[in-house]
Amino acid sequence: MSVPETPAPERTTCAQARAEVSWVLMEVCCGLPLPQARRLHDDALLVATELTANAIRHAGGTTAFEAGLQGDSLWMRVSDRSGRVPHRVVSEPSEPGGFGWMVVQRLSSHVAVEVGPCGKTVTAILDLPAHPGPA
């Protein structure tokens, strides 16, 4: 008699997180002037990448990633199995890395970390630019 296999946990990649954020922002960006749309899209993709890369590199991988719109904000949420709270890493200028958490905090209007019994969830919120009114 064999033991049933436990399903593998979700392992969201950076590319998958970026694709989800792009999909969520599609309609918002279409309604903005090109420079605003590019900045919002680029900032959001960078935050999604850093959140996911940090979970992969420092917390054993992601267990969930989701993104959505609420009011005038874009939210992104990544979960992992580590209870260790993210922090800024001080490294030598010649060493790669060490800026991801700072980038997330700088580009987000709000960042929250919730630690639970099975890991943590990091939520980042980015403000959406005001939609232009009629010309």
User: DSSP character for 82?
Assistant: -
6 has a pLDDT exceeding 50? no
More confident residue, 89 or 49: 49
**pLDDT > 90 in the chain, percent:** 67
Average pLDDT over residues 57-78: 94
- Given phi > 0 = left and psi -120 to 50 = alpha, else beta, which region is 98? left
48 has a pLDDT exceeding 90? yes
Alpha helices in 59-118 (DSSP H): 100-107
CA atoms 88, 89, 92, 95: torsion sign:
negative
The domain spans of the chain are 14-88+98-127
- Report CA-CA distances (Å) from 26 to 37, 38, 40, 130: 9, 11, 11, 15
For residues 24 and 21, give the distance between their C-alpha atoms in angstroms, rounded to a whole number. 5
pLDDT tens readout for residues 19-31: 999 999 999 999 9
pLDDT tens readout for residues 76-133: 999 999 999 987 777 677 776 678 899 999 999 999 999 999 999 999 999 999 865 5
* CATH superfamily assigned to domain 14-88+98-127: Histidine kinase-like ATPase, C-terminal domain (3.30.565.10)
